[in-house]
Amino acid sequence: MILSTVHALFCGFLLLTLIVPTSLRANMANPVQAGDVVGEPSAMLDSITVLYESLRIDMTPIGAGERYGWVSAEYTIVNNGSERTIPLLFLPGAMGVRYATNGNQSVPDTTFTIQVTMDGNPVPIAVAFTQTDSLPPQWRIPTATPGLNGNDSIRYEARNEGVIRFTLQIPSGQHIVRVRYQAQPTSNSSGGRMAKLWQFAYVLAPARQWGGFGTLEAVVAAPTGWEVSTTPAMTVSESGWKGTWQGVPADAISISFAMPAPSYLRYLDDGLPIVASLLGIALCWMVGKRTGKWLVQSNKTPGWSVPVALLAGAGWALLVLGTMLLASSIVSNQLGNQLARGYGYGSAIALVLVYMPGAFLAGTLLTVIAAYRGSRQAREEMK
């Protein structure tokens, strides 16, 4: 009965070891105030056409451990009418925002991250950043970005959403408007990922308010070797992922990108605890058998096996601790600043509450059993 109970406990611990291892919105449009009705392009924009937009979304700084990338948009516009002074609204979405170190700390400031020029001349920004909830549904950031490697889409949330307001004085004829700002993608560590997954969205819908929209050329740059998925789909080029469309192809460009975690890391992270379990079994059994023979040869009582069994159980627990720390260290060193936030927390809790106590208990009982069998075998050999 005792042996059956011990065997059940041991098998349960081994089973546990095997099972429990381990926005951006952008594009210029006419301002939308709270309560405004958004419909066809206003009369202020109907004679102004965007011939060409060159969009570059540069997320390469993320690979160096930065929290921000850069978005650059260049518009070639034509005013077919007389000179106009137009208040414009730009939806940058998750911009880089800083707050005052003194005074009113609740007022966000983005003047250090955004630059607007027209024909090379700086454009004053009337309101650098204003929170707003009064945007039309199609101007909202998408609720998801595409999954990597053909997987399901991933829920997307952005921070520091708001609008930038500035005024353009547009003479008749063709002009170049450039907007560049620091952008903050979303870091997603859900779903048991080893490496962070980054998400980003650039909303195109406001561009439909212009009198006409010609060609959009978009380039997405990510760190070399990273996995990237976009909607609408883009093709890989020397400069990154590139797409060219006539007109506005979608309400938004959605992007998911991540550093690929080497497949061996997952096997290592899950496999080392199993190796520790197998080594612990061998260690405790060997120590127990030798202890049993020593008890018979030294004419000691069976109670002397208990201290040895406790030491063997503690050794197994320390072996489990060492292998899991080793696996965690290897994963952390390989992924560096791209290690998913919170990765390994569950394993750490299981280590303290399950693995180490289980290894200690199972190791102690296994050593006692082995000592009993070793002593019985030694007596039989002495007959």
Each residue's pLDDT tens digit, 273-309: 888 889 999 999 999 999 989 988 888 888 888 999 9
pLDDT in tens, 151-175: 889 898 876 666 777 788 899 999 9
- Res 222: pLDDT: 95
Percent of all residues in the chain with a pLDDT value above 90, rounded to a whole number: 33
Q: What is the pTM of this model?
A: 0.77
What contacts 24+ positions apart, CB below 8 Å, involve 227-235?
227/148, 227/149, 227/257, 227/258, 227/259, 227/260, 228/148, 228/255, 228/256, 228/257, 229/145, 229/146, 229/147, 229/148, 229/149, 229/255, 229/256, 229/257, 230/146, 230/254, 230/255, 230/256, 231/145, 231/146
CATH number of 28-258: 2.60.40
| Range of lowest pLDDT (30-44, 257-271, 303-317, 348-362) | 30-44
> CA 186, 147, 193: angle at the middle one, nearest 5?
65
| Domain range summary for the chain, segments of one domain joined by + | 28-258, 263-382
**The pLDDT of residue 352:** 81
pLDDT tens string 197-241: 999 888 888 888 888 999 999 999 999 999 999 999 999 988 899
Task: Select the more confidently predicted residue: 3 or 98.
Answer: 98
pLDDT, tens only, 39-91? 334 446 778 899 999 999 999 999 998 888 998 999 999 998 888 888 877 77
Task: Output the average pLDDT for the chain.
Answer: 80
Q: How far apart are CA 70 and CA 59, in angstroms?
A: 7
- Whole-number Å distance between alpha carbons of 265 and 331: 6
pLDDT at 356 over 70: yes
